[in-house]
Structure 1
Amino acid sequence: TPLILTSYTSQTNMYFMFRFTSNGGNNVYIDDINISGNVGIEDEIANSISFSIYPNPAEEKTLIAFNLLDKQKVQIKVYNVLGQEITTILDGNLNAGEHEYSLTQKTALEPGAYFVKLTVADQSFTKKLIVN
């Protein structure tokens, strides 16, 4: 019998307990547990941002693309694999809509692995970038 939990969707945390009562047997099987729906606002924000880097691996130029649903403070920074900041591509307020920023050889990224960190308001998203 399915247990419908819609009346609990406004709760921050939920705990489940299964109690097994037996008349002499010792086997219990719990199967087909499916909890669906959003488990956090971060998932919705990540989907709406549509943060991408292409082409990746990059040769001479790569584009950093993302979408904003409303005006937000945005930062784009590039870090090396040691976590050291290499460059800041953007630090400012942007209007809603689709945005693209170019990362070219002029940025002086040597061949290797990097991390591009996009911060929108107080949410951060990081993608790996390979430069050939």
Structure 2
Amino acid sequence: MLISHCSNTGTYGWIDIESASGRWNWKRSGSLYVYPFEVESANSISGEDKLNLRAKYTSQGVKSHSDFLGSSQDFFNIAYNQIFSPWSNPSTYPDNANLCVELLQFDQYNNAHVNFYTQNAYLSSPSKPQNPVLSANPGNNYVRLSWEHNLETDKAYYEVSRKVHELGGIWQVIGTTTNNYFVDNEYYYSNPVGDFGCTYRLRVKDTQNKFSVYSDEVSIRAEMMGKIAVTNEGVREYNLDFNYPNPFNPSTVINYAVKEAGLVRLKVYDILGAEVAELVNEIKEAGNHTIEFNASQLPSGVYIYTLQVNGFTGSKKMLLMK
């Protein structure tokens, strides 16, 4: 079932197909379209859709977009994209039309059952959250999930879920927010060398207690947050924390904790096991310690740093990207 860019104007109205990734995705430079229709917001034409991208004069001759007859990413389906409203993506046309189609189910004969709103589009469920992106949160390197704000005025909050592939791959709700971003303070952004594969998704709930379908899923390699147990009596365990930032260029900071005073050795090795730096080789008192590693003389690549003290050994990976 393909529904997109409906118009309630004219005698019969009309339907065509528009990108589910956003109407800003088709680039034009002057009178020529840039082939192959690069994804870029600059110099785009608001409202350009795939049906319009047939036999266009482009920078490489007359071209048609590969999806001008429609794309599998555009289709409406249960749990994928069920709302077609003034606030959805794609949206009804014109954008301020109070018109909504809500897909409810497909019956045994593959007939679509829909709710059709012509006056009160806001009574439908919220539209699918758009364009989720993962990045490192500034200042602490936690995993940050951000997305485009839903345009509905009756949204209440976003619900964020995560699954970790190495821990069974089970979806868990990890928080809610009214912002268009969420910081996961249990994992550090460490792509692509992290030990854990984390996948995130979100959905939005409105003031009518209706949920949207889930957003597209996005994945990253991450490291579980190191836990340094500190009380008024001091550090209670040995710990080697993850470096920050990671990836880095050319410097990064490594934190570690020493339970009892002793000879501390902190060394860096390349991926083949060759030692490339000795950061610490001295007696350290019990407590939390910090060291900066400058890799300006080393080539890009994955490196391993290892802490040894009083029988404790811990290792972590880091990525130098120049």
Aligned length: 86
**Match status 1:123 vs 2:312:** yes
Matching residue of 1:114 = 303
**Consecutive aligned runs of 4 or more in structure 1 exceeding 6 Å deviation:** none
The correspondence for 1:77, drawn from 267, 275, 284, is: 267
Provide the C-alpha distance between the structure 2 equivalents of 1:74 and 1:116, rounded to a whole number of angstroms.
13
Corresponding residue SS for 2:260? coil
The correspondence for 2:293, drawn from 96, 100, 103, is: 103
Matching residue of 2:255 = 65
Gaps of 5+ in 1: 1-45
Structure 1 pair 61/77, CA: closer, same or farther in 2 (3 Å)?
same
Provide the C-alpha distance between the structure 2 equivalents of 1:77 and 1:119, rounded to a whole number of angstroms.
9
Larger Rg: 2
User: What letter is aligned with 1:51?
Assistant: L
Provide the C-alpha distance between the structure 2 equivalents of 1:97 and 1:73, rounded to a whole number of angstroms.
13
| Residues 45-68 of structure 1 deviation map (CA, whole Å, 9 limit, x = unaligned) | x97233121111111210110111
More helix by share: 1
User: What letter is aligned with 1:100?
Assistant: T
Provide the C-alpha distance between the structure 2 equivalents of 1:105 and 1:116, rounded to a whole number of angstroms.
12
Corresponding residue SS for 1:109? coil
TM-score (norm 1): 0.60
TM-score (norm 2): 0.25
Structure 1 residue 113: Cα displacement: 0.5
User: What letter is aligned with 1:59?
Assistant: N
Structure 1 residue 109: Cα displacement: 2.3
User: Which one has more relative contact order, counting CA pairs under 8 Å at least 6 apart?
Assistant: 1
